[in-house]
Chain A
Amino acid sequence: MRLSITNLQVSFGERRVVDLAELAVGEAEIVGLAGDSGSGKSVTTLAVLGLAHTVGATVSGSIRLDGAELTGLSHREMREVRGRRIAAIFQSPALAFSPVYRVGSIVHRALRLHGMTRAEAAEAAERAMRQVLLPPGLLDRYPSQLSGGQLQRVAIALALALHAEVLLADEPTSALDVTVQAEVLELLRELRDRERMSVLFISHDLAVVAELCDRVAIMQHGSIVEQGPTSQVITAPASPYTAELLASVPRLAAGAGQ
């Protein structure tokens, strides 16, 4: 397993918000973590990134990346992991890019921070842009000149350029238009197959999870109430909570097929 989480507990003072028995992501696998607002999905992301302390939470349990324990690492050691070995993309790509720098300079700086030379960074950035099907020329633009879908793909390109072992994707398509969302989902599938990328995909949207993920874990009140192969969880949910979530998804008119 690339990423394996066991007995993870995240608390704010006395209040435990995550109590997660087991969750793992294998190589070339997309695993969905789905649930309502407040179910603890995003706090789990922060814990995996070693950032839970920044919101005042304490973490216990085990988070292993390729077998090596992350929870005991110092902040300095964790910085080597975060961004490079575990990359993350978030709901609003616009907030992830400083508006005053060109996209390319943001990408280059991140690559150089993680040890590349100037020349290596430039080359890696261009190659990664092509991998996410963007013209490298976009690197010369400012973030405001790119669409949300393009920026999200640049964020994914950064993860590729750094050869991240795991991509944490926290609601990465929730702010995108549906046709753009379809493109980003298609890209994630391609990267899984072509680059053997591992993705933990966090979403409230079960329809997206159902289409994209190989396996899915359903989270409620900080715990996983059900997990398994996506088709099984979706077609025969074992937990009433999963069934309730599924029933909440608006459906297109019956028979609306071509």
Chain B
Amino acid sequence: MAFVTLHNVTYQYPLTQSPALQEINLKINEGEFLAVVGPNGAGKSTLCYSLAGFVPHFFKGELTGEIAVDGKKSSEATLDEWVMNVGLAFQNPFNQISGAKFTVFEELAFGLENIGVPREEMKVRVEEAMALTGIRELADRSPYSLSGGQQQRVALTSILVMKPKLLVLDEPTSQMDPIGTREVFSVVRKMAEEGMTVVMVEHKVEWIANFADRVMALKDGRMLLEGKPNEVLTSDMLAENGFGISRYTSTAREAKKRGLWKKENLPVTLDEAVEGFAK
């Protein structure tokens, strides 16, 4: 059985005219890395909130259908139980800093204090998590004195340290440089190899093509496409529906029309493009 199941999920925020998610059906296996793409207002963040239990437990509104993680239904659990299994990090890192702690080390321990992890284990886990995301040297800094990219790494680490079974990330690299982005994708890939299930909303399609197992394309709250990264990200449907697509894909698409691209499949990354044009 799939680790995460969404069955006919439709959700509408209070005081809005149309649903943010409509009839979403999705299965994710344990240890799978699923990337979610879509234009603004497609329902990506709402999907993240739904997986993390904030829909329907935090945002009111009407949810129909069923969301299950690890055999448990979100409608039957309380939010504080749910967050023990599902971790959420979202886009704006500044608002994810608790504000209750004065150093990064304390900030990372905040979640562990809340769920009652013993002191010695807490220190070990924080050290491990910092080593994983490469923020060891920030340990004694104030979380507020960091740059956006550094804060984003702290936000990600503060969730990783909780060791969730399902990790939900909503644009976790939006304020990062290419090096930071690479590191985040590598860490997430590594966590997936170790059995953590990952759902990640991201615009950087070249990175998705390199690292994710599967891609889901959302538009207007509906699932438009779903499948292997290279198939979904090079689909004509994405280009026609206003999705952000790789410049290599659009270049090769034009080249194909003029007979300059000989291969069947279009590229997403630079390497694929170089290889294809060299033929």
**A, B assembled together:** no
Please list the residues of chain B having a beta carbon within 8 angstroms of any beta carbon in chain A.
Answer: none
Please list the residues of chain A having a beta carbon within 8 angstroms of any beta carbon in chain B.
Answer: none
